[in-house]
Amino acid sequence: MSYPYQIKSLEQYHADYKRSVDDPAAFWSAIAEHFTWKKKWETTLNWNFTEPRVEWFKGAKLNITENCLDRHLEKSGDMPAMIWEPNDPDEHHRILTYRRLYEKVCQFSHVLKNNGVKKGDRVCIYMGMIPELAVAVLACARVGAIHSVVFGGFSAQSIADRLYDAQAEFIVTCDGAYRGQKDIPLKSVIDDALIGNRIVKRVIVATRTRTPVSMIKGRDVWWEEEINKVETMGLHDFPAEEMDADDPLFILYTSGSTGKPKGVVHTCAGYMLFTNYTFVNVFQYEPGDIFFCTADIGWITGHSYIIYGPLSAGATSLMFEGVPTYPDASRFWKIIDKFKVNILYTAPTAIRSLMGFGLGPVHGHDLSSLKVLGTVGEPINEEAWHWYDEHIGKKRCPIVDTWWQTETGGILISNIAGITPSKPSYATLPMPGVQPILVDESGKEIEGNSVSGNLCIKAPWPSTIKTTYGDHERCRTNYFATYPNLYFTGDGALRDENGFYRITGRVDDVLNVSGHRIGTAEVENAINMHASVVESAVVGYPHDIKGQGIYAFVIYQGSHAQNTHGTADLIRKDIHQTVTRIIGAIAKPDKIQFVSGLPKTRSGKIMRRILRKIAEGETENLGDTSTLLDPGVVEEIKNGKL
């Protein structure tokens, strides 16, 4: 098995890029010929960024799981599709061949159908990182249901909000999950999320931790018992539902600059094509390579580069249940040694965290199988890049620094391993079909090199966001209204003298914490739910491990937070607890500073620019404060900085 569309030289990259921009329809049509279709397309691309409307492969019929499973069975049925490494290194790993994964997906497709799931239904999946999670995702796609995976760290309130927004009638979950030293009681979180819910009809519960759970008659069923029913009935294959190219495949909720999470929708055909194309090219995947993406499937990276990209390419994808520091900081290196991993794709946060343990955990593990290293989630700083290069790649593995978003579905800007140049902390060049530009605040394009501005994309790529679920206007205003006829990424970037792009961070009110986007408004809303909080403002600040930390300025009722150190610490713990209950532990502020007021304009707008500078340690050049309602509050905040 080879990939006819794999880029093999710098000259080919430039030629392919030019073709993809000059005639995107012809370029992507040629690549689409290498996939399995129930019916071919009538037109390759129709688009209008004003509405916005982007249609790829209009008229085509397909099912993405036939491309991820069925088409590999004849030649690669006995090849490992997924290798699963459990949280506890003493528990045995599992290997699912393409044939075994196909059988499991067909079985669970029958389970879904038996429980009333049909094409177009929304299924919320809230599970730990076990193979059954991948099976559930693929089974939803096979029956034509829209899956919405929620990360296992989110709170009951966050799940309830997502269930309501998607109007999901079905949930797939586990009794519990393991993550490092923690046991996470997933089913009881779901039970809390379902208090007052009148929409959910069925909850399917897989066994993992054997945590005692409450099973409600008529609503809750055990995964294993449902599988037994299918086996007893002798049901094996499950014909894949015929889907339109533009039918929704999944909803994935991401934080926005307002407090309400937004459901990003990706559709079947374009998303399949682009995740496959970027996977094969960016990582220079060769048949038989072991690809280890350390992300959680609850995030877009797990969707695109643990499940759909690798499996559609007939690759072997390694899925890990645990965390890089459990039972100690050598875990990643042990996994690489154990399975002879060829490609490692992880987050700068994980790299910085592991750097902190020194080289002891790295020593004694054979990393010679590695050919390519990758980073995702946030720009990687130079120090971490060099550590990764020297101590993990041994200076012989190209590092691909990939930039993309939940909304883009796949990698938009990245060097291609060993083919295009790399530069520490730079994503470098766009993928074929991706047309980035920099604009100033008024939307005017900034030409030339050695410049910086707001990063936009001026034409669609195959996995462009389709809509935000149930609210297309929100999709338009968030991504396509800021600058006419452009997709606005929300990121700032600079373009160096070679035309390489470096992402400089969010320019809107969204934080990037450990590679996960969290809206400042979402965190503020949660803090303000605390009974004694009057008001709060949240900004990001540089954090050694996470990249960006969360700094909260809080006005506390009666201002007795200042009275004693003990009281202040106790109140901080209460606020942490409140945020954890409402969003999840991932959104807990790293620093909480109690203040008597916030810097506001006379119209009541909080000047976050000033708070951001103070949080970053800049106390002198705060800009013009004369327009503030009470300029004196800035001095107080500066003096109280944590």
For the chain, which residues make up each domain, given as ranges? Answer: 10-63+246-506, 67-71+91-241, 510-639
> In angstroms, what CA-CA distances link 273 with 37, 138, 575, 624?
12, 16, 44, 50
CATH 3.20.20.70 fits 10-63+246-506, yes or no: no
| Mean pLDDT, range 427-433, rounded to an integer | 98
Can you point out the beta strands (E) in 189-275? Answer: 202-206, 220-222, 243-244, 248-254, 262-267
Q: Which residues contact 590 (CB under 8 A, 6 or more apart)?
A: 543, 546, 549, 550, 551
Secondary structure of 138-170 as H, E, C letters:
HHHHHHCCEEEECCCCECHHHHHHHHHHHCCCE
Amino acid residing at 205:
V
Name the CATH architecture for the domain at 67-71+91-241.
3-Layer(aba) Sandwich (3.40)
Q: Taking the C-alpha atoms of 529, 532, 534 and 537 in order, what is their torsion angle to the nearest 10 degrees?
A: -60
Q: How many CB atoms lie within 10 A of CB 621?
A: 6
Contact (Cβ atoms closer than 8 angstroms) between residue 516 and residue 586: yes
pLDDT of residue 626: 64
d(CA 361, CA 138) in angstroms, rounded, equals 36
- How far is residue 110 from each of residues 66, 119, 133, 356, 608, measured CA to CA in Å? 16, 13, 16, 47, 52
- Per-residue pLDDT at 1 exceeds 60: no
pLDDT at 499: 97
| CATH topology match: 67-71+91-241 vs 510-639 | no
Indicate the pTM of the whole model.
0.90
Residue 459 has pLDDT above 60, yes or no: yes
| Reported confidence tier of residue 562, pLDDT bands at 50, 70, 90 | low
Tell me the average pLDDT across 194-204. Answer: 97
Q: What is the mean pLDDT of residues 363-368?
A: 97
- Res. 566 pLDDT band, cuts 50 70 90: low
Please name which of 164, 197, 239, 199 lies closest in space to residue 469, comparing C-alpha atoms.
164
Structure token digits, residue 206: 């897989």
Helices assigned H by DSSP within 340-396: 348-355, 382-387
| Cβ neighbourhood burial of 598 (10 Å; 0-12, 13-18, 19+) | buried
The type of residue at 334 is K
Q: What is the pLDDT of residues 469-495, one digit of tens each?
A: 999 999 999 999 999 999 999 999 999
Identify the bridge partners of residue 263 per DSSP, sorted by sequence position.
Answer: 253
Question: Cα separations (Å) of 530 from 259, 508, 511, 578?
Answer: 16, 25, 21, 6
Higher pLDDT, 313 or 600: 313
| Contact assessment for residue 455 and residue 492, using Cβ atoms and an 8 Å cutoff | yes
Mean pLDDT of the residues in the chain: 93
Mean pLDDT value of segment 210-234: 96
Question: How confident is the model at residue 603, as a pLDDT?
Answer: 61
518 confidence band (pLDDT: 50, 70, 90): confident
Q: Report the chain's terminal Cα–Cα distance, integer Å.
A: 57
Cα–Cα distances (Å) from 594 to 288, 327, 569, 587, 622, in that order, read 56, 37, 11, 18, 20
Neighbouring-strand partners of residue 593 = 553
Tell whether the model's pLDDT for residue 624 goes beyond 70.
no
Q: Is cis: bond before 52, omega within 30 of 0? A: yes
- The answer, yes or no, to whether residue 549 has pLDDT greater than 70, is yes
For residue 53, CA distances in Å to 25, 474, 480, 523 come to 16, 13, 10, 32
Residue 327, preceding bond cis, omega within 30 degrees?
yes
Structural class in CATH, domain 510-639: alpha beta
Q: What is the mean pLDDT of residues 356-376?
A: 97
Specify the pLDDT at position 397.
Answer: 98
Provide the greatest CA pair distance for the chain.
Answer: 77
